Amino acid sequence: MDIATIGGILIGLLTIIIGIVINARSASVLFTTFLSIESIFITIGGSFFAVMASNTLQRTLRMGRVLRNALRTQSFEPGRIISMIVTFSEKARREGLLALEDDLDELEDDFLRKGIQLVVDGTDPEIIQNIMETELNNMITRHEQGIKVFDDWGLFAPAFGMIGTLIGLVNMLRNLGTGDQTIIGKGMSAALITTLYGAVLANSVLIPIANKLTYNNEQEVLLREIMIEGTLSIQSGDNPRIVKEKLVSFLAPNIRAQVEEETGEGE
């Protein structure tokens, strides 16, 4: 599990709870003032079904799987991928492209395996590029659909919090004529709870999850682009040093030195 994401969400929620307790000087206020079942129904339930209405049922039901991807530790190792591609390039230059077929079973990544298999089969470079880029674009589309669900929920949650507040204000105004300030104060407090729930749900949970999914998508797209360029370079018979320089150029300058060490400076 991704400690940063899970820890960030839990600690963020905990700091809000601690702030409430410190402000109220009592832990019991969490249950007497800030716990509202009707507000939970309006904010969480209402916003969730708005998300369902905005997306297909199948996409909504996949939210659990998408959430697991956000909370799961994902290993993005461009150095290892670049080193592997450079090794394939050296072998192809030394023994020929057909020699790479012996290493296909050792490749864990299906995307790279497919690319190398196409190279071994003697497929035209333009066709290889089209196939791999089409698969990459389809992957991006799938990821964006999952991200959109949490983005939508992050937008709807505060809106339904405001809807709950308006409902509470209407009920409060009904009692305004009684002149009982205690009832009015309690009604105003209850009305504002749903706005709080919507803001916390969106900013402490949903938007961070959408941002994490976006980050994971960007890293995976980067690796796939490196694989595409590396596969085409192997097929064209580029010098292994040139192959490495091409692939390292995809990376930010601050991590190129680390990748150079992982792949070997003297290759």
Q: Tens of pLDDT along 28-61?
A: 877 777 888 888 999 999 999 999 999 988 888 8
Q: What is the pLDDT at residue 155?
A: 95
Do 24 and 143 reside in the same domain of the chain? no
The rounded distance, in Å, linking the Cα atoms of 89 and 103 is 12
Residue count of the chain = 267
Give 131-142 pLDDT, tens digit per residue: 999 999 999 999
For residues 137 and 199, membership in a common domain is answered with: yes
From the list 74, 36, 4, the residue with the least C-alpha distance to 171 is 36
Does one domain contain both 23 and 64? Answer: no
What region, left, alpha or beta, does residue 73 occupy, with left being phi > 0 and alpha being psi -120 to 50 degrees?
beta
- Give the range of the structural domain holding residue 221, as residue numbers without chain letter: 37-267
Q: Are residues 58 and 112 located together in one domain of the fold?
A: yes
Q: Is a pLDDT exceeding 70 seen at residue 148? A: yes
Q: What is the pLDDT of residues 220-242, one digit of tens each?
A: 999 999 999 999 999 999 999 99
Across the chain, which distance is largest between two alpha carbons, in Å?
92
Average pLDDT over residues 94-118: 90
The answer to whether the CB of 197 falls within 8 A of the CB of 144 is no
Closest CA to 260 of 242, 243, 248: 248
Would you say 210 and 53 are in contact if contact means Cβ atoms under 8 Å apart? no
Output the pLDDT for position 213. Answer: 95
Whether 26 and 90 share a structural domain: no
**Among the listed residues 88, 26, 108, the one whose alpha carbon sits nearest the alpha carbon of residue 244:** 88
pTM of the model: 0.86
Query: Is the distance from CB of 237 to CB of 100 less than 8 angstroms?
Result: no
Residue 29 sits in the same domain as residue 54: no
Cα angle 45-50-55, degrees, rounded to a multiple of 5? 130
Reported confidence tier of residue 167, pLDDT bands at 50, 70, 90 = confident
pLDDT for the residue 261: 67
- The mean pLDDT value for 58-81 works out to 87
Q: How many CB atoms lie within 10 A of CB 249?
A: 10
Number of domains in the chain: 2
Same domain membership, residue 103 and residue 84: yes
Could you tell me if 19 and 64 lie in one domain? no
- What mean pLDDT, rounded, does the chain reach? 88
Q: State whether residue 56 is helix, strand or coil.
A: coil
Q: Which residue has the tokens 């009904």?
A: 174
Contact 13, 204 (CB under 8 A): yes
Which residue has tokens 């990459």? 136
Two tokens, residue 87? 């090794």
Mark whether 58 and 91 lie in a shared domain. Answer: yes
The share of the chain scoring above pLDDT 90, in percent, equals: 57
Q: How far apart are the first and last CA of the chain?
A: 36
Task: State whether 143 and 43 are in the same domain.
Answer: yes
Residue carrying structure tokens 């035209």: 124
CA 117 to chain centre: 30
**42 in the same domain as 27:** no
Do 9 and 45 lie in one domain? The reply is no
What is d(CA 256, CA 249) in angstroms, rounded to the nearest whole number?
Answer: 8
User: From residue 227, how far is each of 72, 76, 116 by CA, in Å?
Assistant: 23, 13, 10
